[in-house]
Structure 1
Amino acid sequence: MTELKRYPEYKDSGVEWLSEIPSAWSVCAFGRFARFRNGADYSSVEVADGGYPVYGSGGEFRRASEFLFDGESVLFGRKGTVDRPLHVTGRFWTVDTMYYTEIATRHLVPRFVYYWATQLPYSYWLTSTALPSMTQSDLSAAKIPYISIEDQDAIVAFLDRETAEIDAFIADKEELIGLLAERRAAAVDVLLRQDDGKGIRNMIKLGWAFDFLNGDRGSDYPDRRDFVESGVPVTCSTACVDQLVRTQSFVGPVEVRWHHRWWRYGLGRERSIAATRSGYSIRGWNDTRGCC
Structure 2
Amino acid sequence: MNRFNKMSQGKTNSVVDWLGDIPSSWELIRLRFLCCIGTGSKDTVDNVINGKYPFFVRSDNVEKIDEFTHDEEAVMTAGDGVGVGRVFHYYKGKFAAHQRVYVFTKFNNCKAKFIYYYLKSNLAFEVLKGNAKSTVDSLRRPMLANFLVSLPSFNEQESIIRFLDDKTSEIDSLIAAKKKLIDLLEEQRQAIITEAVTKGLDPNVKMKDSGVEWIGEIPEHWNLLRIKYLGDAILGLTYSPSDVVSKNEGKLVLRSSNIRNGKIDYNDTVYVNCAVPPKLITKEHDILICSRNGSRELIGKCALIDRNSQDQTFGAFTTVFRSEINEFLFYIFQSQLFKSQIGSYLTSTINQLTISKLRNFPVAIPNDLERKKITNFLQKKALEFDSIIKNEKNAIDNLKEYRQSLIYEAVTGKIDVRDYKKEEALS
Specify the TM-score bucket, using the shorter chain as the normaliser: 0.5 to 0.7
**Cα pair distance change 1:190/1:104, threshold 3 Å:** closer
- The corresponding residue for 1:160 is 165
The residue aligned with 2:114 is 112
CA distance in structure 2 between the partners assigned to 1:137 and 1:101 by the alignment = 14
Q: Which aligned pairs between 1:1-292 and structure 2 lie closer than 5 A?
A: 3-8=3-8, 9-42=10-43, 50-58=51-59, 59-65=61-67, 67-80=68-81, 81-83=83-85, 84-105=87-108, 107-119=109-121, 120=123, 121=125, 122-124=127-129, 132-189=137-194, 193=199, 194=203, 196=206, 201-203=217-219, 237-238=284-285, 286=379
RCO higher in 1 or 2 (8 Å CA, sep ≥ 6)?
A: 2
Alpha-carbon contact 1:42-1:64 (below 8 Å) kept:
no
Q: Secondary structure at the match of 1:114?
A: helix
The 10-residue stretch of structure 1 (54-63 or 68-77) with the greater mean CA deviation from structure 2: 54-63
Deviates more, 1:5-14 or 1:159-168: 5-14
Larger mean Cα displacement after TM superposition, 90-99 or 117-126: 117-126
Q: Could you say what secondary structure the match of 2:128 adopts?
A: helix
Structure showing the higher helix proportion among its residues? 2
| Aligned partners of 1:70 and 1:91 also within 8 Å | yes
Contact 1:237/1:279 (CA < 8 Å) preserved in 2? no
The question of whether the paired residues in 2 share the 8 Å contact of 1:30 and 1:139 is answered with yes
CA shift for structure 1 position 143: 0.8
Aligned-partner Cα distance in 2 for 1:42–1:156: 32
Residue deviations 1:75-131 (CA, integer Å, cap 9, x gap): 1222223221211111221111112112325x11111101111121222388x9x97
Letter in 1 for 2:95: F
Structure 1 counterpart SS, 2:137: coil
Q: 1:176 aligns to what SS in structure 2?
A: helix
Aligned equivalents of 2:136, 2:27: Cα separation in 1: 34
> Is the 1:75–1:99 Cα contact (8 Å) retained in structure 2?
yes
CA offsets 1:248-286 (integer angstroms, 9 cap, x no match): xxxxxxxx956887xxxxxxxxxxxxxx98597767994
Q: CA-to-partner distance for each residue in 1:187-231, whole Å, 9 max, x for gaps?
A: 44555525636786315889xxxxxxxxxxxxxxxxxxxxxxxxx
Larger Rg: 1
Give me the CA root mean square deviation: 4.0
In 2, distance between residues paired with 1:39 and 1:23?
36
SS at 2:37 equivalent? strand
Secondary structure of 1:139's aligned partner: helix
How many percent of aligned residue pairs carry the same amino acid? 22
Please say if residues 206 and 220 of structure 2, whose CA atoms lie closer than 8 Å, have aligned partners that are also in contact: no
Pair 1:21–1:88, CA change in 2 (3 A): same
Aligned to 2:257: none
Amino acid at match of 2:79: R
**What CA distance in whole angstroms lies between the structure 2 residues aligned with 1:204 and 1:188?**
19
Instruction: Give the Cα–Cα distance (whole angstroms) in 1 for the partners of residues 53 and 42 of structure 2.
Output: 14
CA contact (8 A) 2:44 2:98 kept: no
Output the CA distance in 2 between the equivalents of 1:125 and 1:134: 14
Counterpart AA for 1:110: A
TM-score by length of 2: 0.45
1:28·1:145 contact (CA, 8 Å) conserved in 2?
yes
Please give the secondary structure, in 1, of the residue aligned with 2:62.
strand
Deviation at 1:24, TM superposition (A): 2.3
TM-score (norm. length: structure 1): 0.63
Task: Report if the CA contact (8 A) 2:47-2:63 is conserved.
Answer: no
Q: Which amino acid aligns with 1:174?
A: K
Unaligned runs of 5+ in 1: 207-235, 240-255, 262-275
Aligned mates of 1:48, 1:277 — CA distance in 2: 42
| Structure 2 CA distance for partners of 1:137 and 1:205, relative to 1, 3 Å | farther
In structure 2, the CA distance between the partners of 1:198 and 1:50, relative to structure 1 (3 Å rule), is closer
Q: Which runs of 5 or more residues in structure 2 are unaligned?
A: 210-215, 223-282, 287-305, 312-321, 331-374, 387-427
Q: Comparing 3-12 with 166-175, which one deviates more in the overlay? A: 3-12
Q: How many pairs are equivalent?
A: 227
* Partner Cα separation in structure 1 for residue 7 and residue 107 of structure 2: 27
Secondary structure at the counterpart of residue 104 of structure 1: coil
Q: Which moved more, 1:276-285 or 1:131-140?
A: 276-285
Change in CA separation of 1:44 and 1:159 when aligned onto 2, cut-off 3 Å: closer
Residue by residue, what CA displacement relative to the aligned partner does 1:6-25 show, whole Å, maximum 9, x if unpaired? 12233321111111212322
